[in-house]
């Protein structure tokens, strides 16, 4: 559903004000809802000059490290196909480097201790060689693998090489064939094609510009070389929001956006983490995922809400997202402008509210109501297809989904009980005796002696 002209005008003004305030040669952005690009805007010209060609939603910008998310998804599809396991050592597939003992999962989550940059010249500004040349430069680790988060461009060069070895063709061809083409991302490429913005630096103390170099980074390209447009990256944001068009299983996407390692900044609260290729943020309870990008002459951001919670801001729809590009090397614009655009849409265009309908099943009513674990009290209720025990996010509260066709086997989805089994134990007459949740017994009355309480119940009873 398109947004209103009033909202569109407000977003256009925000983008124009951001372009002027932050002195951006150009900026292009888009907002996604329900898997669709519902607004896009662009201000400035491809070369930053007054009479240059205006940018639009089909102008290519360099996406920088957002490239890593494509590499990560391609690696996860290899896992899903049974071609590798995340616990595999890198050297089991690509032997002969100092990274042999780092696992694939550690490379994906930047927890392998791999050095941040290559050992030769500044790879973002100089042409790169092949994998053998990168190895010859002495690429290795800085920390014990698994110890901590340490962002590594070199680690993603290794993942790109992994794709090439296992798929037996260049990594970009794998990304193109398995991701870009199925999603209709026809304007995403390894080098600029068609209408493309010039990478520029803006002098910090004067309104003058400097052209930045563009080249093939060789083996380091999987860390940040891809070019794309607002129209194309909006499709990638839709995938992250759950509209995968059959490209990525929902279960795999959910696994990828789980926080694996917090991004620990001294003196700062833990607001961010890294999943399997995706950056993950948790600000005031609002979960979002995406990735930023930075290369000489370009900055980029993709951010998508994982749920409808707005934290301290307005609530919206799960999958609401923003993509933004600018052709400048350094700017504070990406700290606020993407979030301001997304917040404005969620304030002015509330997400549609689905009416409540009675969709439950009466066969599970004997599970609802009050239960006791020892002397504590919990309430079981049903929300859609889930059995909810307690309050998820508080204590050990969790949702449970049914396993199989019957009403008596469930598995936890949240917090402490994630993945743990809940079994309904019935009496001979079919009535419910108690719940067995990972060996904990929940009974209708505290310490019900008929509830098979481990260790038994004192014969003297309550006194």
Q: What pLDDT digit, counting tens, does each position of 267-305 carry?
A: 878 889 999 999 999 887 889 999 999 999 999 999 999
Tens-digit pLDDT string for the chain (463 aa): 679 999 999 999 999 999 999 999 999 999 999 999 999 999 999 999 999 999 999 999 999 999 999 999 999 999 999 999 999 999 999 999 999 999 999 999 999 999 888 887 777 788 888 999 998 888 989 999 999 999 999 999 999 999 999 999 999 999 999 999 999 999 999 999 999 999 999 999 999 999 999 999 999 999 999 999 999 999 999 999 999 778 999 999 999 999 999 888 788 788 899 999 999 998 878 899 999 999 999 999 999 999 888 776 788 888 999 999 999 999 999 999 999 999 999 999 998 888 988 877 787 889 999 999 989 999 999 988 899 999 988 889 999 999 988 889 999 998 899 999 999 999 999 999 999 999 999 999 999 888 888 888 888 888 8
Q: Please enumerate in sequence order all residues whose Cβ is within 8 A of that of 401, keeping only pairs 6 or more positions apart, or say none.
A: 385, 386, 387, 410, 411, 413
**What is the value of pTM for the model shown?**
0.92
Q: Which residue has the tokens 């329900």?
A: 34
The DSSP H or E segment spanning 280 is: strand 279-283
Domains of the chain: 1-354 (3.40.710.10), 362-442 (no CATH)
Q: Exposed (0-12), middle (13-18) or buried (19+): which is 267, by Cβ within 10 Å?
A: exposed
């Amino acid at each position: 559903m398109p947004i209103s002209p009033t909202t569109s005008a407000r977003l256009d003004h925000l983008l124009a004000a951001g372009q002027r305030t932050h002195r951006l040669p150009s900026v292009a952005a888009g907002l996604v809802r329900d898997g669709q690009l519902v607004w896009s805007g662009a201000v400035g010209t491809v070369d930053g000059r007054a009479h240059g060609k205006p940018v639009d939603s089909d102008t290519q910008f360099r996406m920088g490290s957002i490239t890593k998310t494509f590499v990560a998804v391609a690696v996860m599809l290899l896992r899903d196909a049974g071609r590798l396991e995340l616990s595999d050592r890198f050297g089991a597939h690509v032997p002969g480097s100092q990274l042999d003992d780092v696992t694939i999962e550690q490379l994906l989550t930047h927890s392998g201790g791999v050095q941040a940059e290559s050992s030769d010249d500044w790879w973002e500004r100089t042409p790169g060689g092949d994998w053998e040349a990168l190895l010859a430069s002495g690429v290795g680790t800085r920390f014990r693998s698994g110890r901590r988060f340490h962002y590594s461009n070199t680690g993603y060069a290794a993942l790109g090489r992994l794709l090439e070895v296992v798929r037996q063709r260049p990594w970009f061809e794998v990304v193109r064939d398995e991701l870009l083409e199925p999603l209709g991302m026809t304007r995403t490429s390894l080098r600029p094609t068609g209408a493309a913005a010039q990478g520029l630096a803006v002098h910090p103390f004067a309104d003058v510009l400097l052209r930045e170099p563009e080249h093939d980074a060789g083996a380091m390209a999987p860390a940040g070389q891809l070019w794309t447009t607002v129209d194309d990256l909006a499709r990638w944001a839709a995938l992250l929001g759950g509209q995968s068009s059959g490209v990525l299983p929902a279960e795999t996407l959910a696994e990828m956006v789980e926080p694996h390692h917090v991004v620990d900044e001294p003196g700062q609260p833990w607001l961010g983490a890294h999943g399997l290729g995706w950056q993950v943020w948790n600000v005031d309870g609002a979960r979002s995922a995406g990735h930023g990008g930075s290369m000489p002459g370009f900055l980029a951001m993709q951010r998508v809400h994982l749920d409808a919670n707005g934290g301290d801001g307005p609530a919206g729809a799960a999958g609401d997202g923003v993509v933004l590009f600018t052709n400048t090397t350094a700017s504070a614009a990406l700290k606020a402008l993407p979030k301001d655009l997304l917040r404005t849409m969620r304030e002015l265009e509330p997400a549609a509210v689905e009416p409540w309908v009675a969709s439950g099943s009466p066969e599970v009513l004997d599970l609802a109501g009050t239960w006791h674990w020892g002397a504590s009290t919990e309430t079981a209720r049903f929300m859609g297809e889930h059995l909810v025990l307690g309050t998820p996010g508080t204590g050990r509260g969790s949702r449970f989904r049914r396993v199989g066709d019957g009403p008596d086997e469930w598995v936890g989805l949240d917090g402490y009980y994630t993945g743990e089994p809940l079994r309904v134990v019935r009496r001979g007459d079919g009535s419910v005796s108690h719940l067995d949740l990972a060996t904990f017994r929940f009974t209708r009355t505290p310490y019900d002696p008929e509830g098979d309480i481990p260790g038994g119940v004192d014969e003297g009873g309550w006194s």
